[in-house]
Amino acid sequence: MKIEEEINQKQFRDVYEKVMVNVLFTGSWLQNYNNQFLKDYDLTVQQYNVLRILRGQSPEKIMLNEIQSRMLDRMSNASRLVDKLKNKQLVERKACKHDRRKVDIWITPLGLEVLEKIDAKMADFYEIFYRLTEEESETISHLLDKLRG
Amino acid sequence: MKIEEEINQKQFRDVYEKVMVNVLFTGSWLQNYNNQFLKDYDLTVQQYNVLRILRGQSPEKIMLNEIQSRMLDRMSNASRLVDKLKNKQLVERKACKHDRRKVDIWITPLGLEVLEKIDAKMADFYEIFYRLTEEESETISHLLDKLRG
DNA sequence: AAGATATATTTGTAATAACAACTAGAGTAT
DNA sequence: ATACTCTAGTTGTTATTACAAATATATCTT
């Protein structure tokens, strides 16, 4: 559905206003879609994302700063986000030996297990993306990169 | 900057994962950019958006439901959002005569004034979009429409 | 008209986000 | 060593978001 119909706005001042609205709207739409899917696993998009960052690094440990710099929404509070995951026993945290300002964080076996469960259902989730060809997906990615400068 | 570098992730499982991450990331990035700009006017993106919806309709009144259906982030709470704007005297609200379940909402002269001030600075704000050609903007919009189905 | 159902909005709440202030440890210069 | 500055992370506070439940009015059915 065209963005004009989606938000019931007849027209935009120009294509730039339209693309702005469309990026904002689609981002919000996709985040909702994600959250809906992840609700079964009691995770938010941001929490899931942090778990994936940690898995990508596993079995290496990683510090909070590093997590923050890789997060999709950098405004969320990485420290408390890790807290939540720790409470669910999906990650572990310990002060770094060499530099006691830092904390080492790593994913637990349970965390990996949860991610695997999610992976198993990923095909269903990804279905919507097959509305796009691979080439179209590349095009969006490329142009969004360009927009961010 | 490429999304891979932006979030420091070497690779994605496929182009679909990449486009998902990119849409989420860019949406969040753009929302932050917007909020930063609007901070001078003590408005959030959602509040600004509601004001614009009301201006589009002005001097007609509009009901809450209608606002909600046009919002970019439909999960925000339209009722309390209008509250905030009313406290700032940017909008007015009154129970609808014909159907007392509904409320009529409309933008005040002060609200219009604030929007005009923002308009005056819009050129600065829109600068980033000129990284894209008109054609590229149309392409993004079209493909995002397609993604949402 | 009474009761059931649908619609529009508000309110309660718990979780999360935004932002600033604070704490603690490391590095650096004198 | 002392003072200064920088870095990493935590904590406090307020606003916003997400979701469900409650309220109030309108509409439909019999």
Give the Cα separation of B36 and B42 in Å (integer). Answer: 10
Residue B74 — pLDDT band, cuts 50, 70, 90?
confident
Contact (CB<8Å) B73/A28: yes
The 10 Å CB-count burial string (b at 16+, else e) for B10-27 is eebeebbbbbbbbbbbbb
Percentage of residues in chain A having pLDDT higher than 70: 100
Contact (CB<8Å) B16/A129: yes
Contact (CB<8Å) A27/B32: no
Residue A132 — pLDDT band, cuts 50, 70, 90?
very high
Q: A62: which 2 tokens? A: 């990683």
Interchain contact B147–A (C-beta under 8 A): yes
Q: How far is the CA of B134 from the C1' of C11 (A)?
A: 45
Q: A98: which 2 tokens? A: 């060499």
Q: B59: which 2 tokens? A: 């001097």
- Give chain D positions with protein CB within 7 A: 7-12, 15-19, 24-27
Average pLDDT over residues A85-89: 95
Interchain contact B80–A (C-beta under 8 A): no
Kindly determine whether the C-beta of residue B64 is less than 7 Å away from any atom of nucleic acid strand C.
Answer: yes
Give the Cα separation of A100 and A148 in Å (integer). Answer: 36
Closest CA to B24 of A115, A18, A44: A44
Other C-beta atoms lying within 10 Å of the C-beta of residue A37:
17
Residue B75 — pLDDT band, cuts 50, 70, 90?
confident
Percentage of residues in chain A having pLDDT higher than 90: 91
Helix (H) / strand (E) element for A62: namely: strand A62-63
Q: Model-level pTM?
A: 0.94
pLDDT, tens digit, for every residue of A59-84?
999 999 999 999 988 777 999 999 99
Percentage of residues in chain B having pLDDT higher than 70: 100
What does the pLDDT read at residue A76? 75
What does the pLDDT read at residue A99? 94
Name the DSSP class of A58.
Answer: T
Contact (CB<8Å) B137/A18: yes
Among chain B residues, the shortest Cα distance to A73 is held by B28
Average pLDDT over residues B48-65: 93
Contact (CB<8Å) B129/A147: yes
Residue B43 — pLDDT band, cuts 50, 70, 90?
very high
- Say if residue B94's pLDDT is above 80: yes
Contact B85, B50 (CB under 8 A): yes
Average pLDDT over residues A134-144: 98
Residue A52 — pLDDT band, cuts 50, 70, 90?
very high
3-state SS record for chain B: CCHHHHCCCCCCCCHHHHHHHHHHHHHHHHHHHHHHHHHHHCCCHHHHHHHHHHHHHCCCCEEHHHHHHHCCCCCCCHHHHHHHHHHCCCEEEEECCCCCCCEEEEECHHHHHHHHHHHHCHHHHHHHHHHCCHHHHHHHHHHHHHHHC
Q: How many Cβ pairs within 8 Å bridge chains A and B? A: 178
Q: Which of A22, A50, A54 to mutate to test the interface with B (most CBs of B within 10 A)?
A: A22
Kindly determine whether the C-beta of residue B79 is less than 7 Å away from any atom of nucleic acid strand C.
Answer: yes
Residue A15 — pLDDT band, cuts 50, 70, 90?
very high
Helix-helix angle A78-87:A45-57, to 10 degrees:
80
Kindly determine whether the C-beta of residue A100 is less than 7 Å away from any atom of nucleic acid strand C.
Answer: yes
What does the pLDDT read at residue A34? 95
- Say if residue B78's pLDDT is above 90: yes
- Say if residue B23's pLDDT is above 90: yes
**CB under 8 A, 24+ apart: contacts of B51-56:** B51/B85, B51/B90, B51/B91, B51/B107, B51/B111, B51/B114, B51/B115, B52/B115, B53/A9, B54/B91, B54/B105, B54/B106, B54/B107, B54/B111, B55/B107, B55/B111, B55/B112, B55/B115, B56/A9
Interchain contact B120–A (C-beta under 8 A): no
What does the pLDDT read at residue A121? 93
What does the pLDDT read at residue A73? 84
Contact (CB<8Å) B30/A27: yes
Average pLDDT over residues B65-73: 91
Residue B73 — pLDDT band, cuts 50, 70, 90?
confident
pLDDT, tens digit, for every residue of A90-123?
999 999 999 999 999 999 999 999 999 999 999 9
Average pLDDT over residues A138-146: 98
Contact A25, A5 (CB under 8 A): no
Contacts of A109 (CB under 8 A, 6+ apart): none
